[in-house]
Amino acid sequence: MAEIVAMPKLGFDMAEGTLVRWVIAEGGEVTKGAVLAEIETDKATVEVESSAGGILYRQLVAEGTAVPVGTPIAVIAAPGEEVKDLPETGLEAEGAVPVAAVEEKKAPDEKTGAAESAGQKAEAPEVPAAQPAQVAPEGGALRASPLARRIAQENNLNLNQVTGTGPSGRITRKDVEKALLGAPAVVTPAAAPLRPVTAAATLPAPSWEPGAPVPADERQPIAKLRSIIGRRMVESKQQVPHFYITSAYDVAPLMELRKQINLQLPEESKLSVNDFIIKAAALTLRQFPNINASLTDKEIVRHGHVNIGVAVAMDSGLMTVVCKDADQKPLRTISQEVRDMAVRARAGKVRPDDIEGSTFSISNLGMFDVEHFVAIINPPEAAILAVGSAQNVPVVIDGEVKVGMRMKATLSADHRITDGAEAARFMQALAGFIENPLRLML
Amino acid sequence: MARITMREAISQALWEEMERDPKVFIMGEEVGLWGGTYAVTKGFYDHFGADRVRDTPIAEAAIIGGAIGAALTGLRPVAELMTINFAFSAFDHIVNQAAKMHMMFGGQMVLPLVIRAVGGGGRQLGATHSQTPDAIFAHFPGLKVVAPGTPADAKGLLKAAIRSQDPLLFIEHATLYQTRGEVPEGDYIVPIGKSTVARPGKDVTIVTYSKMLEISLKAAETLAKEGIEAEIVDLRSLRPLDMDPVIESFKKTNRAVVVEEGWKSFGIGSEIAARIYEEAFDYVDAPVKRVAQTEVPLPYNHTLEQMMLPKVEDVISAVKEVL
């Protein structure tokens, strides 16, 4: 019997997904759980798995079509089966716009600056005439000596941002070394701290030459994920009335407990500080259903599940992976799940389940030596917790200044759902777990 | 250590080897009674006698053919060609016979043959007597090709050549005979197939040999006054070619100029450049530059001839181009 596959709902607020690519062609054999297609949601590109085995009888929507959640996208049938009543998608009637198709078509034009018609040409960004050969696309006409290329690669330096002073603008060792020792602006954000270029390279005397060549401006098209993050954050910051509560927690016992636990664990499954925070926040949220909530047009939804979204930094932007029912899971399970999801997210292989259904989010920048910061709420959630670094600080104990270990966390909350007093009580209750970490183990 | 000319150094090597080994003998045009066109074998005839210092007809094919036969029967001939340009008359004997016999016949015989040939231009000998066809001979496996640039190397390499079991072309530059240098006395041997750093430096590698070593050293002196320290690698032997010092130097300087007297096309510089690209590609910071003779038959007219040959200024400007 024929089985209908519909556009899955991958988050509370997901209304539609763009079918980016069909993985299996019509008539192709499908096993249950096989990847049928790739869809792009507001958050990520994910794979749609088949809910049944058989033959992919019909693809109901074309690649590039934005499809509302729940709309049929495919029909799976038994081999040889004739399906008479194909479901209607209603997409054509509503004039669905093939978003990705339009964007894909535009992209190459923007890159090369070439256009098919004068009208399109006007839209193409101007390439400044003054930019010499080094702005050529990677692998193209960029002139650089093999040695310069090797040094740049070893030092994670983008040659597109280096000005060549050799014949015909060729980038040579001298240019690369100058770039590496000079302005940090020419180093890509992902670059490791500067290392010596070669054994022979020595630090030159500080010098400044007026009119010395500087890297040209670099223009990058806004990636899909980047634009989604931008849109959602603008929405949140403009529409959600944020307020902020900051608390400092004594994390000396937590750090000590973590040390003890990690001594017992192999390297690949050691617990992070954030794993403890996830568990602590989840247990606290169980006591504060109004903060484990979402706002819809008419009502406040207090969620039964406590699903913690964890912000994962990636080269291309930010993604929130979701640890489900974190209040019920042991620390090591939380740790393993988050670790696995983060790896998948960074590899671009995130699963729908990894990113859907968060009820509260945590953003932790503790590893970057950050005292504290405030985060933007991830709509439609009620709040987000921003976690700083655990630091040795002077504290007053019994009238004396001593060295203490403190970690600051800031809750950003939606004033339409909750108020300052409740949020402050939440932060207080959170202290009960963070400062008594054994409670997380019980 | 005595400061002697390259002519004297070569003469010394020959004399000592003939004294040391009775199987060593000389044959060639005017080598005996006349004492050699370039006076290298002056006095040999009187000392060693007509059997071991043999004057031949003006017939290069006969000289080399006869020398091959002598080598096959166990002697150690040192055949002299008045100029390397006449080697073309004996080309078949050199590249088709001498270079191949040992390997072609399963190693049944050895060919301890040395062919001394005078090469290079600059002496107004005309287009057919002034060539530098070194690369042509270095092309053939089975034939060693050696070309010294200093008196000491000339002595040490020639003695090693005479003791070598393989056919070997020993190229002496016509304008280097008067060059003086420190030459160790007695049994001084320079192993064949070892390049050497003739001048240390850090900014650019100049690869050269023979007469062009002299030109390159002069260029390096001028460059040093401008703060550019060139490292000069003297190949000394074109086959076997020892690239190790070249690659080692190049990995340090990342830039190279190859200076040869012959023509550029399909020449020594082409080979060295290709080897650098193959063996040290990731160290290349600028294209390897070749300095060579202008690609015309060398003119007789002195001014024109000097214009065509590689000069100190050519080396200097090539170095500045790669820096």
Partner residue facing A166 (CB), from B281, B283, B286: B286
| B215 class by beta-carbon count within 10 Å (0-12 exposed, 13-18 middle, 19+ buried) | buried
Which of B138, B154, B183 is the C-terminal boundary of a domain? B183
Location of structure tokens 């009580």 = A425
What mean pLDDT comes out for the span A403-415? 95
Q: Which residues of B touch A147 (CB under 8 A)?
A: 254, 282-285
**Class of A3-100 in CATH:** mainly beta
For residues B98 and B86, give the distance between their C-alpha atoms in angstroms, rounded to a whole number.
Answer: 16
Chain-wide mean pLDDT for chain A? Answer: 81
d(CA B202, CA A324) in angstroms, rounded, equals 63
Interface contact B286-A200, CB threshold 8 A: no
Taking the CA of residue B93 as centre, how many other CA atoms within 13 Å lie in the half-sphere pointing to its CB? 22
Q: What confidence category does residue A211 fall into, taking pLDDT thresholds of 50, 70 and 90? A: confident
* pLDDT band with cut points at 50, 70 and 90 for residue A204: low
Minimal CA separation from B239 to chain A, in Å: 29
Place A80 in a pLDDT band, splitting at 50, 70 and 90.
confident
For residue range A278-290, what is the model confidence (pLDDT) as tens digits?
999 999 999 999 9
Half-sphere exposure of B244 (CA within 13 A, CB side): 6
Given a cut of 90, whether residue B92 has pLDDT beyond it is: yes
Best probe of the A interface among B254, B276, B285, by most A CBs < 10 A, is B285
CATH architecture group of domain A224-441? 2-Layer Sandwich (3.30)
Q: Is A438 exposed, middle or buried (0-12, 13-18, 19+ CB in 10 A)?
A: exposed
Cβ <8 Å between B283 and A166 = no
Domain boundary among B160, B183, B206: B183
Same domain, B73 and B163: yes
Q: Terminus-to-terminus CA distance in chain A, angstroms?
A: 49
Q: Is B153 contained in some domain?
A: yes
Q: Considering only residues B77 and A441, tell me which one the structure prediction assigns the higher pLDDT.
A: B77
What pTM does this model have? 0.52
- What DSSP designation does B87 have? G
Nearest CA to B292 among B135, B129, B87, B125?
A: B135
B282 contact residues in A (CB cutoff 8 A)? 146-147, 150
Measure A149 CA to nearest chain B CA, in Å.
Answer: 8
pLDDT band (50, 70, 90) for residue B78: very high
- Token pair, residue A212, equals 């010395």
* pLDDT reported for residue B319: 97
Choosing from B16, B17, B29, B60, the catalytic residue is: B60
Residue B190 lies in a domain: no
The more confidently predicted of residues A133 and B190 is B190
Structure tokens, A144: 């650089």
Residue B257 lies in a domain: yes
Average pLDDT rounded to a whole number, residues B206-214: 98
- Percentage of the residues of chain A whose pLDDT score is greater than 90: 40
Instruction: Give residue-wise pLDDT tens across range A148-179.
Output: 999 988 888 888 888 888 888 889 998 998 88
Chain B: residue whose CA lies nearest to A201: B252
* In the predicted structure, residue A379 carries a pLDDT above the cut 50: yes
Q: Looking at the structure, do residues B207 and B281 belong to the same domain, yes or no?
A: yes
Share of chain A above pLDDT 70, in %: 82
ipTM summary value: 0.73
Give percent of chain B above pLDDT 70: 100
Query: Is B269 contained in some domain?
Result: yes
B162 and B263 share one domain = no
Residue A139 pLDDT: 44
- Set of chain B residues whose Cβ sits within 8 Å of the Cβ of A167: 286
Q: Are residues B24 and B153 in the same domain?
A: yes
Show the tokens assigned to B28: 């060639």
Which has the minimum average pLDDT: A126-140, A197-211, B15-29, B221-235?
A126-140
Angle formed by the axes of helices B244-253 and B268-279, nearest 10°:
70
Nearest to A148 among B252, B281, B285 (CB): B285
Backbone angles phi, psi at B154, to 5 degrees: -60, -45
**A247 vs A100, residue with greater confidence:** A247
**Does A95 or B193 have the greater pLDDT score?**
B193
Please check the confidence at residue B186 and state whether its pLDDT lies above 60. yes
Distance CA B83, CA B75 (A): 24
Do B150 and B273 lie in one domain? The reply is no
Whether the predicted pLDDT of A45 surpasses 80: no
Is A173 in contact with B254 (Cβ distance < 8 A)? yes
Q: Domain range spanning residue B33?
A: 2-183
Task: State which residue of chain B sits closest to A148, comparing Cα positions.
Answer: B285
The CA–CA distances, whole Å, from B35 to A315, A365, B26, B44, B137 equal 81, 90, 11, 7, 27
A171 reaches B (C-beta below 8 A): no
Determine the residue type at A100. Answer: A
Sign of CA dihedral A385, A389, A390, A395: negative
Mean pLDDT of B13-41: 96
Considering only CB atoms, which chain A residues are within 8 Å of B273?
Answer: none
Question: Residue A196: is its pLDDT beyond 90?
Answer: no
Give residue A43's pLDDT band: very low, low, confident or very high (50, 70, 90).
Answer: low
The one catalytic residue among B129, B172, B173, B261: B129
Q: Is B129 a catalytic residue?
A: yes
Among B183, B217, B248, give the residue marking a domain's end.
B183
User: Is-same-fold flag (A3-100; A132-215)?
Assistant: no
Say if the Cβ atoms of A145 and B252 lie within 8 Å. Answer: no
Instruction: Taking residues A321-338, report their average pLDDT.
Output: 94
CB proximity under 8 Å: B 249-308 to A? 252, 254, 281-286
Is there a cis peptide before residue B240, judged by omega within 30 degrees of 0?
yes
Match 């001979």 to its residue by tokens: B137
Say if residue B229 is in the same domain as residue B152.
no
Domain count, chain B: 2
Q: What is the pLDDT of residue A201?
A: 52
Helix (H), strand (E) at residue A155: none
- B323: nearest CA partner in chain A: A166
Residue A114 confidence (pLDDT) = 42
Alpha helices (runs of H) in A300-385, residue ranges in sequence order: 331-346, 352-355
CATH number for the domain spanning B145: value is 3.40.50.970
Q: Are residues B205 and B174 in the same domain?
A: no
Measure CB to CB from residue A172 to each of B252, B282, B286 and give the nearest one: B286
Query: What pLDDT shows up at residue A202?
Result: 60
Give the residue-averaged pLDDT of A313-324: 88
Q: How far is A332 from chain B (nearest CA, A)?
A: 47
More confident residue, A83 or A174: A174
Interchain proximity B285–A200, CB inside 8 Å: no
Distance from CA of B317 to the nearest CA of A (A): 15
Residue A99 has pLDDT above 80, yes or no: no
Highest mean pLDDT among A22-36, A217-231, A354-368, B74-88: B74-88
B168 falls within a domain: yes
Domain locations in chain A?
A: 3-100, 132-215, 224-441
Sheet holding A45-49, edge to edge: A45-49, A35-40, A16-22, A65-68
Q: Does B19 touch chain A (CB under 8 A)?
A: no
Residue B85 burial by Cβ neighbours in a 10 Å radius (0-12, 13-18, 19+): buried
Considering only CB atoms, A172 lies closest to which of B252, B283, B285, namely B285
Instruction: Report the pLDDT value the prediction gives residue B209, as an integer from 0 to 100.
Output: 98
CA dist A215 and A132 (Å) reads 11
Instruction: Tell me if B189 is assigned to some domain.
Output: no
CATH number at B268 reads 3.40.50.920
pLDDT higher than threshold 90 for residue A33: no
Chain A neighbors of B285, CB-CB under 8 A = 145-148, 172-173
CB B312 within 8 A of CB B281: no
User: What value does the mean pLDDT of chain B take?
Assistant: 97
Residue B188 domain-assigned (yes or no): no
Whether chain B has a CB inside 8 Å of the CB on A150: the answer is yes
Shared domain check, B209 and B177: no
Same structural domain, B28 and B96: yes
- Domain covering A132-215 assigned CATH 1.10.10.60 in the classification: no
At residue A242, what are phi and psi to the nearest 5 degrees? -80, 145
pLDDT(A134) > 70: no
B122 in the same domain as B51? yes
Q: What pLDDT band is residue A429 in, cutting at 50, 70 and 90?
A: very high
Pairs of CB atoms within 8 A across A/B: 25
Q: CB–CB of A147 and B284 under 8 A?
A: yes
Q: Between residues A285 and A111, which one has the greater pLDDT?
A: A285
Q: State the pLDDT confidence band at A185, using cuts at 50, 70 and 90.
A: very low
- B157 shares a domain with B21: yes
Greatest mean pLDDT range, A82-96, A215-229, A359-373: A359-373
Distances (CA, A) of A401 to A253, A390, A394, A408: 19, 18, 6, 19
User: Which residues on chain A are in Cβ contact (under 8 Å) with B283?
Assistant: 146-147, 150
Residue B210 domain flag: yes
Does the pLDDT of residue A132 top 60, yes or no?
no
Average pLDDT of the segment spanning A23-44: 84
Phi-psi region of A307 (alpha: psi -120 to 50; beta: other; left: phi over 0): beta
- Asked whether residue B158 falls in the same domain as residue B236, the answer is no
The pLDDT, as a whole number, for residue A324 is 95
Chain B residue nearest residue A171, CA to CA: B285
| pLDDT of B242 over the 90 cut | yes
Alpha carbon of B282: minimum distance to chain A alpha carbons (Å):
5
CB A383 within 8 A of CB A376: no
B284 with A146: Cβ contact below 8 A? yes
